[in-house]
Every structure is written in C-alpha cells, then in structure tokens.
Amino acid sequence: MTSLAAGRLETFCERLGVSSPFTMERIRAGRNSEVMLVRNRQGEWILKRYYQHASDRRDRLGAELAFLTFLQDSGVSGVPRPLGADRDLGVGLYSFLPGARPASVASAHVSQAAAFVREINQQKRSANAQRLPKAADACVSWQDHLDLTESRLGQLLAVAPTAELEFEAQAFVGQQLLPYWGEIKGKILDEVDRAELAGPIASANQIISPSDFGFHNTLENAGRLSFVDFEYAGWDDPAKLICDFICQPELPVSAGQGLQFLEELLLDSPDSGAVGRRVKSLLPVHRVKWCCILLNEFKLEDRKRRSHAGVDSDGLLARQLGKAKQYFGTHLASTH
C-alpha cells in the first residue's frame, strides 16, 4: 500500500471517530477483500478494502453494507455493525467482534447457524427486506442451479493452459469433473418436469440468504458464534443456501450436521418438502460447483483478487488442485 493510500485510509478512520494515533494491521480473514485490524487506546475496529476491478462488476461493498444495515435495523445481533464507508476508496469500517474460528463443528454450532438464518428471515416481508438485492449467483429456478455450475465448468475449460499445473487442472476438469457433471445433469433432466425446471421459485418461498454461509465465516467467543462476511448476501433459494452450507470445504460439516441444519432451518416452513427435494437432487450439482470454486485460482482474475486479500501465492495452484482432487474423490467419485 502506498503512503498516499495509507494516508487516505487514516483520514477516513479519523472522520468516523477513530482518533489518532492508531495502528493498522492486515489480518488473514478473507479471500476477496483486504481485512485490517485498526487499534488505538480506545478500542479495535475492522477495516475492509474491497476488491475493485473493471472485469469484476460485483458491488461487494454495497452488498455487505446494505445487508449489515438491514440486520442492524432488524435488531439482529452477533454481526459487525457498519460504521461508515467510502465508495471512492472502496472501504468500509465495522465494529470489531472478539473470538476465533471454531476448531471443529459441533451440533450446538449448527443450531446457532440455523437460528441465525431464521432470525434474519423474521423480517423478510418488511419494506427494508424487499429492497435487498438478489444474492450473488442467486438461483430462483431449478435451471439456474444447473446453469451456475455449467458456467463455472465452462470458465475453467476456457482457460488456455501454459504451464504443467494448468494442463493438469484442465485434464482433471475435462476427464473427471465433466463426465460426472454430464451424468448428474442428465439424471435431473430426466426426473424433473421441463415446466418445473424453468419455472421460478415463488418469491414467498425465497429467503434472505447470508450466502457463502459456513463456519469459515464465524467467530466463536465463550461458546457463542458471531457471523461475518456478507459480500454475496441477498435473496436466494433456500435450497442453494443449504447445499452451500453442506458443501463448504474449508470447515466442513458431517452428513448428519447437514441434515440437522436443513431440518432446523426449515422448521415450520410450509415449503419444507419442496426445498428438501431440491436439496436432495441438487446437492451433487453444488458439489461439482465447489470443485470448480476450489480451482478459481487457475483463472487470472481470481488470482489477482486473492493477492489483493493477502493470500500467499507460493504453491497456491498446487494446493488448490490438490484440494479439488481430494474433494472430488471424497464427495463425488465415491458415489459412482
């Protein structure tokens, strides 16, 4: 960071009441944004510098700010409070939450996660909720789920490999992921009526989703979870939220914990049967998608975003390819 940029960030923090002198320390807490701990004698805050690039039009700052403002207005606790933002700088300042990522996942954690999503959606019919955008990569039909995964496969296959690891990644996608994808897509097309496949999920049956929701984005303090990172949040199919919660590879849940999350989240939901059916059919679709996500770094733009966030690039491609192969072997190849 240049001294000019650092000076502008300091001025931004001071304008929001963080008095000098204070320190800014980059912390490893995110793969898409630079996250810094701001500290002075009075307290601590979190400053996020959001990734901005002409080829990535996603308004990460706007999405997170709108979502956290909605949660604050709705009285939802256990999340950062938004204190202010600067669009030109691409930064937001948030309250600091104590705690650390859980070392392992227990049943009590799953219950807290389900309760958090249920609490958010108690206000889903409010005017503030209706102003929230769709979640990133929102799926509002069966077909959307299929198109999302197919798009990610296509992006990886479109990369022109130039190095040995890139050729190896393309071979993995083309020779293992793609044939499996053809099987599960064909099965869904056979089982789901075409009218239902393309038909939208009724807006009343969509939910406000934190998106990218899992225990990798939680902090535990004295047994209680706080929830962070809402750059992708918005309206979505509850089946997609549940599938992503089950599929998330960074701090994974067991099959039993995934079922627990589904049952507790859909408790008293009049649409629980339809959601459960979509989850059962679409879970392997999202498993393939998560294999693709693990290979994001093979796309140049995603490597730039990781670099912005401070992710160590040494051996990154080899690590991610190894993770994708292991994920495929554990969750997909073993189901053949």
Domain ranges of the chain: 3-95, 107-335
Q: Which residue has the tokens 């190894």?
A: 322
Q: Would the pLDDT of 223 be above 60?
A: yes
For residues 241-270, give the mean pLDDT: 96
Q: Using only the alpha carbons of the chain, give its radius of gyration.
A: 20
- Residue 43 φ/ψ region, left for φ over 0, alpha for ψ in the -120 to 50 degree band, beta for the rest: left
The pair of structure tokens assigned to 66 is 């709108």
- The separation between the first and the last C-alpha atoms of the chain, rounded to the nearest angstrom, is 49
299-319 pLDDT, tens per residue? 866 555 444 444 446 688 999
For residues 251-263, give the mean pLDDT: 97
Q: Pick from 66, 59, 71, 12: which is nearest to 33 by CA?
A: 59
Q: Pick from 273, 203, 204, 282: which is nearest to 241 by CA?
A: 282
For residues 16-33, give the mean pLDDT: 83
What pLDDT does residue 294 have? 96
Q: Per CATH, the architecture of 107-335 is what? A: Alpha-Beta Complex (3.90)
Selected from 3.20.20.70, 3.90.230.10, 3.30.200.20, 3.40.50.300, the CATH number assigned to the domain covering 3-95 reads: 3.30.200.20
Query: With b meaning 16 or more CB within 10 Å and e meaning fewer, what string describes 310-334?
Result: beeeeebbeebbeebbebbeebbee
Do 113 and 225 touch, CB atoms closer than 8 A? yes
φ, ψ for residue 152, nearest 5 deg: -65, -40
Averaged confidence pLDDT in the chain: 91
Q: Structure pTM?
A: 0.92
Q: Pick from 153, 199, 192, 197: which is nearest to 176 by CA?
A: 153
- What is the pLDDT confidence band of residue 57, given thresholds at 50, 70 and 90? confident
What pLDDT does residue 268 have? 87
By residue count, the chain amounts to 336
The DSSP string of 232-258 is T-EEE-HHHHHHHHHH--SS---HHHH
Do 258 and 87 touch, CB atoms closer than 8 A? no
